[in-house]
A and B are shown apart, each in its own frame.
Chain A
Amino acid sequence: MRVELSGGQILVECLKAEGVEAVFGYPGGAVLHIYDALFQQEAVKHVLVRHEQGAVHMADGYARATGKPGVVLVTSGPGATNAVTGIATAYMDSIPMVVITGQVPTHLIGNDAFQEVDNVGITRPCVKHNFLVKNVNDLAQTMKKAFYIATTGRPGPVVVDIPKDVVDPKVLVPFTYPETVALRSYHPTVKGHTGQIRKAIDLIVNAERPMVYTGGGVVLGRASELLTQFTRLLNYPITNTLMGLGAYPASDRQFLGMLGMHGTYEANMAMHHCDVLIAIGARFDDRVTGNLAKFCPTAKIIHVDIDPASISKNVIVDVPIVGSVKSVLEDMLPLIADAGGAKQPEALAAWWKQIEQWRAMRCLDFKTNGEIIKPQYVVQKLWEITQGDAYVTSDVGQHQMWAAQYYGFDKPNRWINSGGLGTMGFGLPAALGVKYAYPDEEVVCVTGEGSIQMCIQELSTALQYHLPVKVVSLNNRYLGMVRQWQEFFYSGRYAMSYMEALPDFVKLAESYGHVGMRIEKASDVEGALREAFAMKDRLVFMDFQTDPTENVFPMVPAGAGLNEMILV
């Protein structure tokens, strides 16, 4: 049967065919036809945000929690430019996403028309790929390609820019959604090279001081169970990057905590002294390596990554393996078993003994001080009360590091933060996206009074769509991470890091129709958290008045090696 549809209807049919549950967006002139088509059906829901940046972060949170691509719909011009921060955030963390941007009609493109910007040009450096659809007959094929590119290989955001006349309801064209897509210029490698895997296995089983270092690739690649099997089979120590937390259970003895600038002493020291480094789905980011010249001086390095461009970009490696983490680990497990597992039990025992000595430094211990609320304590209590099982999003700064350090994630996809771009304003909308996907799960946004104000308008979206997340704001009246660097490296000249004229967050939450709480004493922290989490169907904004002088430790200062940490 020949079906004829308008561009707007085709777009909706494409979203249905891709199994899209909801679109996060904001209407405007150039997308009115699309909104009209969305309005006339029930299958694809729409979440109306309050700012386009919020829409992208919501779709991002949804994608990070579910593994499914997030979908965004915004109008041309400012709608698209407002979305750019969110798109760049998703790009840096390799999050699958399809962003549909409206565009002025094709005959006006290039004329400086009302609400016209070059969306394809502006987003080019921060997308995996983008398209301008100039003909309605290309729309279905382009959408198919967009979802395919966004979700395969190293995932990432794809922008589809659609001029208004392409979705004209008066123009009907035949529609079929392509079942398959093939691109001669895009062939992501999934299976690792057998010879390279064998070389890696030889190094792995013969290691005397091994270290497993894994990143966001394991979470995105859904390989956390395989990683756990791999690490336990060998009894090797493991660390996760900020993006990789939860890929290996934090409560396990073999887990040394996060590594890098605010990583644990034991993780960083083990990195520095290891003889074989097994890097899986991680990209040797500068916040992880510290000074490259001093990085892992005695290690042979194996690097498994789906993106060949990530390999030997910052650190030259000895055994590169291009492939999906899942496929490579599947290939490795039987080979390790065939080899009889780790071959240096005595050296490994000595290595563990050394690691336990480093661990005994208890680098994450912190001093309490009467009734002053320590931010770390709030996160510890949050972990207890949610039994370590909540989805936790964060914004960016000190609170983000404390959440990463003190909320031990035992499962993947539960820790959701902007690691690469470091986008303040991410936490609240991302939490709403997670809650939309999993209405029965506990979702918490750990934030600060600086970050929360960058996307606070989404409290309104939360009410409209009944997304009762919990907001834990560690309010120290400072842009804490900026303040910390100014204390350490600028002789305490606190330029613009003190926040004056803060709103009354309790009243603010209430005015948005939610519950607000201010907590000023350490002895009230636990009770307040219990009270908040007992309100299952309310968004509760908890404004914790925390110690303004607290700093994030341990710390590897810029330019130092991982073995040169400041502990307190």
Chain B
Amino acid sequence: MTMRHIISILMENEAGALSRVAGLFSARGYNIESLCVAPTHDATLSRMTLVTHGDDQIIEQIIKQLNKLIDVVKVQDMVDAPHIERELMLIKVQAVETSREEVYRLAEIFRGQIIDVSESSYTIQMIGPGHKLDAFLAALGSISVVEIVRSGALGIARGPRGMAVPEA
């Protein structure tokens, strides 16, 4: 059965590391829904969070193939254990006359923040799991969207433990 998985990858913070992962996915025909990468508190490591879909066999292969990349230090499927998922979305919508009030109220309900205002638009910042952001977009209904920027999902395990780096 095809399921959505959030895969966290710790990798050496080296030039070309991102393209190794992206290349692996395109070469083997795995899909990437979103991909997010940035340095960590350890300057030698980057953390990548990748959202993909696949049945158990495909996900197992994805994790094995990722582990096979020499630059990859650690791979974890967040979905295996309790975890928190967050994504940042910036959305610019048309806000004129009656819709100004409507957009403002919806943003409040979804705990978004209006971070930029013009005569005819609001820009809203919203943080949450992907499905919450999707729900907000659905709730906008007939309000016309000018632009959407999404960061892609981030994931972190619940509890005291972090992703451990094995010894060299």
Residues of A within 8 A of B (CB): 120-121, 124-125, 128-129, 132, 149, 182-187, 307-309, 312-313, 316
The answer to whether A307 touches B60, judged by C-beta atoms less than 8 angstroms apart, is: no
Q: Nearest residue in B to A182 (C-beta to C-beta)? A: B168
Query: Nearest Cβ distance between residue A282 and chain B, in whole angstroms?
Result: 17
The answer to whether B11 touches A124, judged by C-beta atoms less than 8 angstroms apart, is: no
The answer to whether B57 touches A316, judged by C-beta atoms less than 8 angstroms apart, is: yes
Report B58-85 residues with CB < 8 Å from chain A CB.
60-61, 64-65, 67-68, 70-73
The answer to whether B12 touches A185, judged by C-beta atoms less than 8 angstroms apart, is: yes
* Interface residues in B, total, Cβ within 8 A: 23
Q: Nearest residue in B to A124 (C-beta to C-beta)? A: B23
The answer to whether A121 touches B64, judged by C-beta atoms less than 8 angstroms apart, is: no
B158 sits at the interface (CB 8 A): no
**A132, B70: Cα distance in complex, Å:** 14
B135 sits at the interface (CB 8 A): no
The answer to whether B68 touches A185, judged by C-beta atoms less than 8 angstroms apart, is: no
- Provide the residues of chain B in CB contact with A316, threshold 8 Å: 57
Q: Nearest residue in A to B65 (C-beta to C-beta)? A: A309
The answer to whether A183 touches B57, judged by C-beta atoms less than 8 angstroms apart, is: no
The answer to whether B167 touches A184, judged by C-beta atoms less than 8 angstroms apart, is: yes
Query: Nearest Cβ distance between residue B25 and chain A, in whole angstroms?
Result: 11
Given contacts A128-B70, A182-B168, 20 further A-B contacts (CB under 8 A): A121-B16, A121-B19, A124-B23, A125-B27, A129-B70, A129-B71, A132-B16, A149-B70, A183-B168, A184-B73, A184-B165, A184-B166, A184-B168, A185-B12, A185-B70, A187-B166, A307-B68, A308-B67, A309-B65, A312-B57
| Residue interface bits B3-35, CB-to-A below 8 A is 1, else 0 | 000000001100110011001000100000000
Query: Nearest Cβ distance between residue B141 and chain A, in whole angstroms?
Result: 45
- Provide the residues of chain B in CB contact with A309, threshold 8 Å: 61, 64-65, 67-68
- Provide the residues of chain B in CB contact with A185, threshold 8 Å: 11-12, 70-73
Query: Nearest Cβ distance between residue A70 and chain B, in whole angstroms?
Result: 19
The answer to whether A124 touches B64, judged by C-beta atoms less than 8 angstroms apart, is: no
- Provide the residues of chain A in CB contact with B61, threshold 8 Å: 309, 313
Q: Give the residue among A121, A186, A312 with the most B Cβ atoms within 10 A.
A: A186
- Provide the residues of chain B in CB contact with A307, threshold 8 Å: 68
- Provide the residues of chain A in CB contact with B71, threshold 8 Å: 129, 185
- Provide the residues of chain B in CB contact with A187, threshold 8 Å: 166
Q: A132-B15, A186-B70 are in contact. Are A308 and B64 (CB under 8 A)?
A: yes
**A120, B61: Cα distance in complex, Å:** 24
- Provide the residues of chain B in CB contact with A182, threshold 8 Å: 168
Query: Nearest Cβ distance between residue B46 and chain A, in whole angstroms?
Result: 12
| Residue interface bits B109-145, CB-to-A below 8 A is 1, else 0 | 0000000000000000000000000000000000000
The answer to whether B73 touches A125, judged by C-beta atoms less than 8 angstroms apart, is: no
Q: A185-B73, A308-B64, A308-B67 are in contact. Are A120 and B168 (CB under 8 A)?
A: no
**A307, B68: Cα distance in complex, Å:** 8
- Provide the residues of chain A in CB contact with B16, threshold 8 Å: 120-121, 124, 132
**A316, B58: Cα distance in complex, Å:** 12
The answer to whether A183 touches B68, judged by C-beta atoms less than 8 angstroms apart, is: no
The answer to whether B23 touches A125, judged by C-beta atoms less than 8 angstroms apart, is: yes
| 15 A-B residue pairs with CB within 8 Å | A124-B16, A124-B19, A125-B23, A128-B70, A129-B70, A132-B16, A183-B70, A184-B166, A184-B167, A185-B12, A186-B70, A187-B166, A307-B68, A309-B68, A313-B61
- Provide the residues of chain A in CB contact with B72, threshold 8 Å: 185
**A316, B12: Cα distance in complex, Å:** 32
**A309, B66: Cα distance in complex, Å:** 9
Residue in B20, B60, B167 whose CB lies within 8 Å of A124: B20
Residues of B within 8 A of A (CB): 11-12, 15-16, 19-20, 23, 27, 57, 60-61, 64-65, 67-68, 70-73, 165-168
- Provide the residues of chain A in CB contact with B19, threshold 8 Å: 121, 124
- Provide the residues of chain A in CB contact with B15, threshold 8 Å: 132
Q: Nearest residue in B to A125 (C-beta to C-beta)? A: B27
**A408, B125: Cα distance in complex, Å:** 71
Query: Nearest Cβ distance between residue B80 and chain A, in whole angstroms?
Result: 17
**A313, B165: Cα distance in complex, Å:** 27
Q: Nearest residue in B to A181 (C-beta to C-beta)? A: B168
Query: Nearest Cβ distance between residue B155 and chain A, in whole angstroms?
Result: 20
**A225, B11: Cα distance in complex, Å:** 39
**A311, B11: Cα distance in complex, Å:** 24
Query: Nearest Cβ distance between residue A103 and chain B, in whole angstroms?
Result: 14
Q: Nearest residue in A to B72 (C-beta to C-beta)? A: A185
**A224, B12: Cα distance in complex, Å:** 37
The answer to whether A312 touches B60, judged by C-beta atoms less than 8 angstroms apart, is: yes
Q: Nearest residue in B to A145 (C-beta to C-beta)? A: B70
**A183, B72: Cα distance in complex, Å:** 10
- Provide the residues of chain A in CB contact with B67, threshold 8 Å: 308-309
- Provide the residues of chain A in CB contact with B166, threshold 8 Å: 184, 187
- Provide the residues of chain B in CB contact with A129, threshold 8 Å: 70-71
**A49, B135: Cα distance in complex, Å:** 64
**A128, B65: Cα distance in complex, Å:** 12
**A313, B11: Cα distance in complex, Å:** 24
Q: Nearest residue in B to A316 (C-beta to C-beta)? A: B57
Q: Nearest residue in B to A134 (C-beta to C-beta)? A: B15
Q: Give the residue among B57, B70, B72 with the most A Cβ atoms within 10 A.
A: B70
Query: Nearest Cβ distance between residue B166 and chain A, in whole angstroms?
Result: 6
**A124, B168: Cα distance in complex, Å:** 24
Query: Nearest Cβ distance between residue A209 and chain B, in whole angstroms?
Result: 27
**A316, B70: Cα distance in complex, Å:** 25
**A125, B16: Cα distance in complex, Å:** 12
- Provide the residues of chain A in CB contact with B64, threshold 8 Å: 308-309
**A184, B70: Cα distance in complex, Å:** 9
Query: Nearest Cβ distance between residue A304 and chain B, in whole angstroms?
Result: 16
Q: Nearest residue in A to B11 (C-beta to C-beta)? A: A185
**A268, B60: Cα distance in complex, Å:** 29
Q: Nearest residue in B to A127 (C-beta to C-beta)? A: B70
**A3, B67: Cα distance in complex, Å:** 38
**A132, B16: Cα distance in complex, Å:** 10
Query: Nearest Cβ distance between residue B95 and chain A, in whole angstroms?
Result: 44
Q: Nearest residue in A to B64 (C-beta to C-beta)? A: A309
**A274, B25: Cα distance in complex, Å:** 36
**A309, B73: Cα distance in complex, Å:** 16
- Provide the residues of chain B in CB contact with A121, threshold 8 Å: 16, 19
**A132, B17: Cα distance in complex, Å:** 12
Query: Nearest Cβ distance between residue B14 and chain A, in whole angstroms?
Result: 9
Q: Nearest residue in A to B62 (C-beta to C-beta)? A: A309
- Provide the residues of chain B in CB contact with A125, threshold 8 Å: 23, 27
- Provide the residues of chain A in CB contact with B65, threshold 8 Å: 309
Query: Nearest Cβ distance between residue B43 and chain A, in whole angstroms?
Result: 15
- Provide the residues of chain B in CB contact with A313, threshold 8 Å: 61
Query: Nearest Cβ distance between residue B41 and chain A, in whole angstroms?
Result: 16
